[in-house]
């Protein structure tokens, strides 16, 4: 098998609130090989979004380490971490996080433009067509429906053909047919570009399509971890 795209070792995340310190992730360890597809499943509040943000280097663990494509993420300063992220990771947020002052096309073009890609407009247009938004290129996020915003966010992540795609409930705002279409696109990316997929999902059907399922319960990873080869 190829070498791991991501190696997570004993990640813990503590947050402070008015009553003291709360541990929201407890010593989570796992690694993912390039081209694997993994579902992260667990109840609301179990720590899925927190874990995903740490994998992307968008949030920092209290203890533990994350190695992304061979680079120790939390040994880097924020700028260097952002550079690794933009080269390797596509992230689809649970809350989409589109830029409100950019239209759909501009939102999808942005990551390509930041890398100086000469064909940003063509590639972004094609990707928006593939997610069914060819007629919404000039629309701003505020006039798009929740599902349309989600598809713009997916197009923005897909267009970079990242080594690692982290998606937080990517079909959560989509109807069944559109959700199925978006899933097809993700698995196509997985096959064609070798993208490793990490999908947070409450959808059993989606979880079963992934090669592995990691369960989180109150910040602890269960079962699937034990099933991993040593
Ligand atoms: N900065 C913070 N301060 C305090 N508590 C936090 C903070 N961030 C997250 N939490 C808590 O940590 C827990 C895990 O949150 P997280 O958003 O990772 O859950 P989740 O599994 O993604 O849930 P959902 O399925 O509802 O999206 C929750 O109980 C949340 O309230
Ligand atoms: Mg969440």
Give the domain CATH number at 72.
3.40.50.300
* The total number of structural domains that make up the chain: 1
Position 228 scores a pLDDT of 47
Position 124 scores a pLDDT of 98
Position 226 scores a pLDDT of 41
Atom from ligand 1 closest to the CA of residue 219: 14
- Quick check: pTM over 0.85? yes
Lining residues, ligand 1, CB within 6 Å: 15, 17, 22, 24, 42, 44-50, 94
Ligand 1, from 16, 21, 23, 24: best to mutate by most atoms within 8 Å of Cβ?
24
Ligand 1, from 28, 48, 221: best to mutate by most atoms within 8 Å of Cβ?
48
Cβ of 177: how many Cβ atoms within 10 Å?
Answer: 9
Place of tokens 């992934």: 210
Residues of the chain under the 70 pLDDT cut: 1-2, 223-230
Position 230 scores a pLDDT of 45
Position 17 scores a pLDDT of 85
Q: Which domain holds residue 185?
A: 4-227
170 CB burial (10 A radius; 0-12, 13-18, 19+)? buried
Q: Which protein residue has the closest C-alpha to ligand 1 atom 4? A: 15
């Amino acid at each position: 098998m190829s070498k791991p795209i991501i190696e997570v070792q004993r990640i813990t995340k503590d947050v402070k609130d008015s009553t003291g310190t709360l541990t929201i992730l407890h010593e989570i360890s796992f690694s993912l090989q390039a081209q694997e597809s993994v579902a992260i499943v667990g109840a609301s509040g179990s720590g899925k979004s927190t874990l995903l943000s740490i994998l992307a280097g968008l949030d920092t663990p209290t203890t533990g380490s994350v190695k992304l494509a061979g680079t120790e993420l939390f040994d880097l300063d924020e700028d260097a971490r952002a550079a690794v992220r933009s080269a390797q990771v596509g992230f689809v947020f649970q809350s989409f996080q589109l830029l409100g002052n950019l239209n759909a096309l501009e939102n999808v073009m942005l990551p390509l433009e930041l890398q100086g890609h000469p064909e940003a407009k063509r590639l972004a247009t094609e990707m928006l067509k593939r997610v069914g938004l060819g007629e919404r290129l000039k629309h701003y996020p505020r006039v798009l429906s929740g599902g349309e915003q989600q598809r713009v966010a997916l197009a923005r992540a897909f267009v970079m053909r990242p080594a690692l795609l982290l998606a937080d409930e990517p079909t959560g705002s989509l109807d069944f047919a559109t959700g199925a279409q978006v899933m097809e696109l993700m698995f196509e990316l997985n096959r064609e570009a070798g993208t490793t997929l990490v999908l947070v999902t409450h959808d059993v059907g989606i979880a079963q399509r992934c090669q592995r399922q990691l369960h989180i319960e109150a910040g602890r990873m269960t079962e699937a971890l034990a099933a991993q080869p040593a």
